[in-house]
Structure 1
Amino acid sequence: MAAAISLEGGGLAHDLGSAAVTAGVALALLRFFEELARRGVFEQKLTRKLVHVTVGMVFLLFWPLFSSGRYAPFLAAVAPGLNIIRMLLLGLGVVKNEAMVKSMSRSGDYRELLKGPLYYATTITFATSVLWRTSPIAIALICNLCAGDGIADVVGRRLGKEKLPYNTNKSYAGSIAMVVASFLASIGYMHYFHTFGFIEETWYMALGFLMVSVAATLVESHPISTELDDNLTVPLASFLVGSLVF
């Protein structure tokens, strides 16, 4: 696969095409979950978390499509950037889309999109346009936000009988699931980007991903994440700790 994708050059036209493909896949994925929500295939909370886990993780898969040109990260950020605009329009009530609101919000209130979903899209846009694919911090940010935080909620709701002593809204099962999911996802993408020559795969980097995952999980399990929003606190913790260890 690495040999089939041109990493050097490719030009603006190549990156514009890659951005169109990436945005198209992201839109199709959102439409898919929107349809699931409309049909009531899954309960609302599960649908929302499926969106939370898959959109960012799938988006990462398309980063190698882009060239090494200077405009590549900004064109790659078009897809999540458009999602920022969409969250603002929906959250402000300018655009109405009940199915999409249902698939992304906890309560079904469109104003909720101005918090968690907006922070989510902003984090991915930042990781793409500023950090890009040569930075392990970008991997840590997205994997902790998407895989870690998303799986923590799914597992915690089903297996989280034993609650944390400092936060009865969180469980040991959910926190353990977050560390494991975010760490394994980070390791997977470390190897994935290594095959394209973007980063060097090392044990030190793997240890760094573990440290970031543990730190992000501790922050996510703290009551302050409930008060603010874990889509904000988890990326912030991942960025700060990642800046120290990488």
Structure 2
Amino acid sequence: MEEDMEGIRINKYLSEAGICSRREADRLIQAGRVLLDGQAAVPGDRILEGQEVILDGKRINKEEEEIFLAFYKPKGIVCTTANTEHGERIQNVVEYIQYPKRVYPVGRLDKDSEGLLLMTNQGEAMERILRSRYGHEKEYFVKVDHKIDDAFLQGIERGVPVLDTITKPCKAWKESETSFRIILTQGLNRQIRRMCEYFGYRVVYLRRDRVMNITLDGLKKGRYRKLTAQEIRELKREIKKENGDKV
């Protein structure tokens, strides 16, 4: 276990064990579901070598193997590790893929959309490189409910008022009379749908085809694959850049 002489924060420990993000770990701790050496953990607790962490009655050990998956998420699957939403049972992405080791989604792809979703047990690093301020590209294919014109494409490229902000400039180009591709470097909630609505269009189909250098190529809907060694090397280079390390 490495962090410093005083151990590792419990939320980071849970994240690096592939349980969830740090934020979700804090929620689990506050809900009283996490024990540290038999006592209810509190946010800010630090884990020392040899201490025992229990979540919902199960001992948690940090994963040693790095797992990086590309998953073609079908429409209707929710990008969360929870199995209920608003009191109702949902099918989450972790249950859907049934990977033999614990992994969780990096970022989100809304329930009504399909396409590429990265999954890993190395959550902290992956979340860091996908945050919008780092400017990493995500490419989408979009179909709308009526014909696209140049004013629409130029407008979304310049930026659109969404959720009390203006979307960052992006690239967009026409594929057919009612479909286009768009490359974003940020990830606001339902961003593409909101951008289209601003110009009077309704999205009828949305698919994410690429995240950075990772694509859907050759991947069938509902299936996953392990990232190639080259893809993982590229991701790690990006992580090092963001940490200020030498590459």
Is the shorter-chain TM-score for this pair beyond 0.5, marking a shared fold? no
Which structure shows the bigger proportion of residues in strand conformation? 2
TM score, norm. by length of structure 1: 0.28
**Which of the two has higher C-alpha Rg?**
2
Which structure shows the bigger proportion of residues in helix conformation? 1
